[in-house]
Structure 1
């Protein structure tokens, strides 16, 4: 029994699809259920969620946000709301590094138990942007660049000021007295 379980886990892991995206992107999570079947239940799970809530939950033909983890509410939708040809792929919007994890798509069809269809290992990388808008929509900027440029401008102004004073003083010096030899 132990060997079968390990073999099954290895097969699931090897069949897992790896997706890497940048923070802020929208990412499709593909899942193909049985074609021409009456899908009665769709569950998108993430194995490391600390709650029993789902990434996305659909019973019948209606998504149900009350079973959805709060961090995913309003950010997950079916790619094809009519689920034509068994396509139960979803789009996860505005991903962030907290969305990194293993996602599982499980489907139930009328008269059968839930079946694992697809496993996705999602890795969200920090976009590395230091400008643009943050996750709350507020502007953010290159603080280090601004401070550095300000320092350069102040230093350049100080050099110009010192040079102006030096020239002015040099022009107002009395001529040198003649040397006595």
Structure 2
């Protein structure tokens, strides 16, 4: 039963992150909404890229900062200005390529001011997995994520069927052992006579 629960946990974690499927050359929107739009400090990162203090996109209010932006994103990322006052802090990534494949995190300032000892006062509020379709595919259903989800669903189905089979066999054995005239009842009767 423990492996089944572990699989459910892993599937729920994977389902909580958004997957965006793209093709090279697409312009895509990575959606994010700030819980408190009054004083926005926004940072989009790719945790797999080095150095860690760099970013995909960073802005205070509506003023983008490019000082520590990764070179591969310079000139290709912009903040959606639509509905910014209501917390829409989505970004547009232009002309995506295979190097853009990965997980993007939308982070905002947690609390109204920085704490001096805190290394990163920003809180991740959304994760987006950017994936490309297979080059020969005409549809967007043949992504690695699609195969992973399909495999996980298949494994979950097999595990569920196994659990149902085990429970059914146990119930059947319990019912069979409790019928009158079974060898288990005769042995119990012999013990009482002694």
- TM-score, normalising length: structure 1: 0.59
Distance 1:64 1:36, change over 3 A: closer
**Greater strand fraction, Structure 1 or Structure 2:** 1
Question: Where does 1:108-147 land on structure 2 (aligned, <5 Å)?
Answer: 108=109, 110-111=112-113, 113-125=121-133
Q: Counterpart of 1:45?
A: 45
Q: Counterpart of 2:166?
A: none
Instruction: Single out whichever of 60-69 and 99-108 deviates more from structure 2.
Output: 60-69
How far apart in 2 are the matches of 1:36 and 1:59? 11
Residue deviations 1:50-103, cap 9 Å, x none?
223100011243111111000000000001177220110000000001100000
Distance 1:36 1:97, change over 3 A: closer
SS at match of 1:67: coil
Give yes or no for contact 1:31–1:87 (8 Å, CA) kept in 2: yes
Question: What value does the CA root-mean-square deviation take over the aligned residues?
Answer: 2.7
Residue deviations 1:116-168, cap 9 Å, x none?
1110000134656xxxxxxxxxxxxxxxxxxxxxxxxxxxxxxxxxxxxxxxx
Q: Unaligned regions of 5+ residues in structure 1, if any?
A: 1-5, 129-181
How far apart in 1 are the matches of 2:59 and 2:75? 14
How far apart in 2 are the matches of 1:70 and 1:16? 26
Distance 1:111 1:81, change over 3 A: farther
Q: Unaligned regions of 5+ residues in structure 2, if any?
A: 1-5, 115-120, 137-194
Give, in angstroms, the shift of residue 48 of structure 1. 1.0
- Number of aligned residue pairs: 121
